């Protein structure tokens, strides 16, 4: 099997359109179909299901796709190391991120990113639920978590502090907690299945938030909306509620305390993957346009790539 055939298969799997994938590579429809058929004979399996209406991956094709993608990626990296290949960054980047964060910070920047890199395409998979970047076969993912040994490489995008907030109307009706022990008498909103969150207070004092919560929500934007409506006290990412705090729509609860879960926004990718030019430019763009712009960041808060 040759690199062009593998490149054609990867493109056809991404686009679910053999003719369009062939055009991207300078092949006519008949030549593209013939080349894919030859690849399938070589591997001994039907990689794509074809009908007059659509193209879909077969079970064997889905299993083969990550390996074909890796071979193509390695070939491109090798050509780049020799100064060959195209000078313009191009190709599809599969990027996973928090839906709530992407709505606020990533989506508004997409026109600028595409203008800078006309050959770049994005497949955005957005969810506030936990996900595995390796199992999902993502080129790059945005995660908020302490980095542990997980088979991932990471670039720090920004610190991710969490604060306790509530609507003024809620506090007027139910009172303002003066210490963590007062929280048990309030309506608490918890995020996802995180369980009680550790709190760090003045002088190193410690407590928890989230025990006995009345509402559990797995979507950050919905949690913010419920908090604004006066549903109770919630622990929110500062990047999500900073404007609400500045405008007085929300207020800090126990302002001397913060959620102490070492949360950091990381841009992660599998160690096994070659960091291609298309992924590198996306990382650099996000660090430049988001990581260095968040108001609580300092000039020394960004780190180089690291293993986790």
Task: Encode 160-176: b = buried (16+ Cβ within 10 Å), e = exposed.
Answer: bbbbbbbbeebbeeeee
Residues 234, 154, 84, 69, CA torsion sign: negative
Cβ of 211: how many Cβ atoms within 10 Å? 13
Going by C-alpha positions, the residue among 260, 243, 12, 222 that lies closest to residue 234 is 222
User: Does domain 162-259 fall into CATH 3.40.109.10?
Assistant: no
Q: Are strands 140-144 and 90-97 parallel, antiparallel or unpaired?
A: parallel
pLDDT given for residue 5 in this prediction: 92
Kindly state the tokens that stand for 149: 């040994």
**Which stretches of 117-269 are DSSP H helices?**
168-174, 220-228, 238-247
Going by C-alpha positions, the residue among 148, 144, 140 that lies closest to residue 240 is 144
Report phi then psi at 266, rounded to 5.
Answer: -115, 140
Going by C-alpha positions, the residue among 301, 305, 274 that lies closest to residue 290 is 301
Going by C-alpha positions, the residue among 243, 200, 197, 241 that lies closest to residue 216 is 197
pTM for the whole structure: 0.66
Report phi then psi at 225, rounded to 5.
Answer: -60, -40
Between CA 207 and CA 197 the distance in angstroms is: 9
pLDDT tens for the 308 residues of the chain, in order: 788 999 999 999 988 999 988 888 888 889 999 999 999 999 999 999 988 778 899 999 999 998 898 888 778 777 665 555 545 677 889 999 989 999 999 999 999 999 998 889 999 989 877 666 656 678 899 988 655 556 678 888 988 888 999 999 999 999 999 999 999 899 999 887 666 788 888 888 898 887 777 888 888 899 999 999 999 999 999 999 999 999 999 999 999 888 887 788 989 887 765 677 888 889 999 999 998 777 665 433 333 444 44
pLDDT given for residue 300 in this prediction: 33
The segment(s) of the chain belonging to CATH 3.40.190.290 are 162-259
Going by C-alpha positions, the residue among 26, 304, 258, 280 that lies closest to residue 163 is 258
- Chain centroid offset of residue 92 CA: 15
pLDDT given for residue 135 in this prediction: 61
The segment(s) of the chain belonging to CATH 1.10.10.10 are 3-81
pLDDT given for residue 162 in this prediction: 87
The segment(s) of the chain belonging to CATH 3.40.190.10 are 90-160+263-307
Please give the CATH number for the structural domain made up of 3-81: 1.10.10.10
Strand ranges for the chain from DSSP E? 48-50, 55-57, 90-97, 119-126, 140-144, 152-159, 162-166, 188-191, 197-200, 206-209, 215-217, 233-237, 251-252, 258-259, 264-270, 306-307
Task: Encode 237-262: b = buried (16+ Cβ within 10 Å), e = exposed.
Answer: bbbbbbebeeeeebbebbeebbbbbe
Between CA 285 and CA 280 the distance in angstroms is: 8
Backbone torsion region of residue 192, taken as left when φ is above 0, otherwise alpha when ψ lies between -120 and 50, otherwise beta: left
Cβ of 178: how many Cβ atoms within 10 Å? 8
CATH architecture for segment(s) 90-160+263-307: 3-Layer(aba) Sandwich (3.40)
Q: Which residue has 């799997």 as its token pair?
A: 13
């Amino acid at each position: 099997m040759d690199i062009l055939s593998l490149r054609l298969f990867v493109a056809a799997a991404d686009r679910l359109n053999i003719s369009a994938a062939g055009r991207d590579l300078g092949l006519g429809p008949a030549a593209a179909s013939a080349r894919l058929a030859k690849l399938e004979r070589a591997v001994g399996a039907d990689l794509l299901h074809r009908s007059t209406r659509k193209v879909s991956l077969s079970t064997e094709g889905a299993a083969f796709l990550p390996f074909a993608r890796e071979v193509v990626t390695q070939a491109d990296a090798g050509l780049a190391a020799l100064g060959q290949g195209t000078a313009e960054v191009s190709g599809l980047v599969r990027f996973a991120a928090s839906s709530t964060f992407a709505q606020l910070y990533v989506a508004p920047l997409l026109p600028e990113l595409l203008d800078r890199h006309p050959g770049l395409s994005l497949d955005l998979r957005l969810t506030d639920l936990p996900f595995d970047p390796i199992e999902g076969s993502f080129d790059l993912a945005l995660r908020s978590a302490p980095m542990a040994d997980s088979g991932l490489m990471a670039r720090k995008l920004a610190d991710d502090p969490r604060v306790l907030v509530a609507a003024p109307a809620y506090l007027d009706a139910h009172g303002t907690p003066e210490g963590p022990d007062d929280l048990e008498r309030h309506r608490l909103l918890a995020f996802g299945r995180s369980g009680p969150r550790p709190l760090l207070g003045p002088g190193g004092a410690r407590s928890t938030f989230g025990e006995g919560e009345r509402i559990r929500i797995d979507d950050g934007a919905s949690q913010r909306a419920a908090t604004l409506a006066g549903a109770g006290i919630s622990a929110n990412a500062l990047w999500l509620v900073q404007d609400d705090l500045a405008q007085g729509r929300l207020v800090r609860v126990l302002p001397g305390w913060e959620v102490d879960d070492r949360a950091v926004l990381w841009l992660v990718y599998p160690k096994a993957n070659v960091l291609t030019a298309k992924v590198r430019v996306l990382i650099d763009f996000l660090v430049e346009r988001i990581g260095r712009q968040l108001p609580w960041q300092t000039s020394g808060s960004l780190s180089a790539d690291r293993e986790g």
